[in-house]
Amino acid sequence: MNVLDVRRVRDRVERVPRRFLPVIATFVVFVLVFGTGLVRYDNFGSPQVLVNLFVDNAFLIVLAVGMTFVILTGGIDLSVGAVAALSTMIAASTLEAGWPPLLSVLAVLATGTTLGLLMGLVIHFFDVQPFIVTLAGMFLARGLCFLISVESISITDPAFRSLATGTISLADGVTLTYSTLIALAVVLVAVYVLHLTRFGRTVYAVGGSESSARLMGLPTGRVRVGVYAVSGFCSALGGLLFSLYMLSGYGLHAVGMELDVIAAVVIGGTLLTGGVGYVAGSVVGVLVLGTVQTLISFEGTLSSWWTKIFIGALLLAFVICQRLMVRRAA
């Protein structure tokens, strides 16, 4: 490649809007990690392996969507894992008590949304740091799990089990689950809300500068509260998908999952300071995490803790890159 070609490549890169660079970087990381598996293992490139990244992480995708809304406003939600666990407990216990599946699902979604709404109201009206409020929400939700039962509750409802085990056949024998379709539907709805509604545009405005958004007459208070309600809803729905994945409810489900969700969103290019980020990037961030786990399972000789080590290193690298981007923009 001569000097002229280098200049052309550099000019093309410079023409790409800066806000897209983190997402592009995440996608490049995903391609490199997945490409490593293709080179190292014979069956890694099968279509089912790629589809399984969505199947095995459908619940994490939904949780990441809700977290993206929160972080875009400059907030954080540490309660998502505990609310997901509480959702599995409510679903399992109500089904065990003989509730109709639809009523059980509505109870789960209402509980998660209400918890998120309450945390958002406390954050807005009492001006408490989101870290503290959602930490309290995490302890509350986890405690409620053990008030319901200290033991694991198996889900035996026929409708739930058929939904959990049912698959949709694609070409070449590739199959995906209904949970995957639900997760992808949530992603599409989130993309529409963030980019084609006033609420979504206000989310970005609040993350960019809340004071400026307030001066423009935007409903910043309602949006700050609303994103936590959205996160609570997504946490409850993610918990339902996790209960379908595990076919049980347990108070120790999803321990530490909030950290995986935050890591996926940040690796996906959403700035922790808010105002910049995309749902698509969060989805790719989840796929990066899932690909790392798949690589380790294919290797067979490595401890699963290597997943945490790799994710920690990757998260640190992306945070440093974010700081450098913010300094250059300033």
Of residues 38 and 45, the one with the higher pLDDT is 38
User: Which band of pLDDT confidence, cut at 50, 70 and 90, is reported for residue 312?
Assistant: confident
Can you tell me the mean pLDDT for 61-68?
98
Q: Which residues contact 180 (CB under 8 A, 6 or more apart)?
A: 51, 54, 55, 58
How far apart (Å, rounded) are the C-alpha atoms in residues 28 and 297? 22
Q: Is the pLDDT of residue 1 over 60?
A: no
Q: Is the pLDDT of residue 3 over 60?
A: no
* 50 alpha carbon, distance to own chain's centre: 18
pTM value surpassing 0.95: no
User: Which band of pLDDT confidence, cut at 50, 70 and 90, is reported for residue 182?
Assistant: very high
Of residues 109 and 37, the one with the higher pLDDT is 109
Can you tell me the mean pLDDT for 35-60?
91
Q: Is the pLDDT of residue 98 over 90?
A: yes
| Look-up of token digits 């679903």 | 91
Which range has highest mean pLDDT (15-19, 62-66, 156-160, 210-214)?
62-66
How far apart (Å, rounded) are the C-alpha atoms in residues 3 and 54? 42
Q: Which residues contact 250 (CB under 8 A, 6 or more apart)?
A: 85, 88, 89, 145, 151, 152, 153
Can you tell me the mean pLDDT for 194-220?
94
Q: Is the pLDDT of residue 5 over 70?
A: no
Can you tell me the mean pLDDT for 10-22?
66
- What pLDDT score does 14 carry? 55
pLDDT digits (tens, 9 = 90+) for 66-81: 999 999 999 999 999 9
User: Which band of pLDDT confidence, cut at 50, 70 and 90, is reported for residue 90?
Assistant: very high
User: Which band of pLDDT confidence, cut at 50, 70 and 90, is reported for residue 19?
Assistant: confident
Q: Is the pLDDT of residue 64 over 80?
A: yes
Q: Is the pLDDT of residue 113 over 70?
A: yes
Q: What percent of the chain has pLDDT over 70?
A: 92
Q: Which residues contact 226 (CB under 8 A, 6 or more apart)?
A: 120, 199
Average pLDDT value over all residues in the chain: 90
Cα–Cα nearest to 280, from 35, 50, 30 = 30
- What pLDDT score does 6 carry? 47
User: Which band of pLDDT confidence, cut at 50, 70 and 90, is reported for residue 329?
Assistant: low
Which pairs count as long-range contacts for 197-201, CB under 8 Å and 24+ apart, including other chains? 199/223, 199/226
Query: How many CB atoms lie under 10 A from the CB of residue 246?
Result: 18
Can you tell me the mean pLDDT for 190-209?
96
User: Which band of pLDDT confidence, cut at 50, 70 and 90, is reported for residue 9?
Assistant: very low
Can you tell me the mean pLDDT for 155-164?
93
- What pLDDT score does 324 carry? 76
pLDDT digits (tens, 9 = 90+) for 232-277: 999 999 999 999 999 999 999 999 999 999 999 999 999 988 999 9
| Whether the Cβ atoms of residue 275 and residue 74 lie closer than 8 Å to each other | yes
Q: Is the pLDDT of residue 222 over 50?
A: yes
How far apart (Å, rounded) are the C-alpha atoms in residues 270 and 233? 20
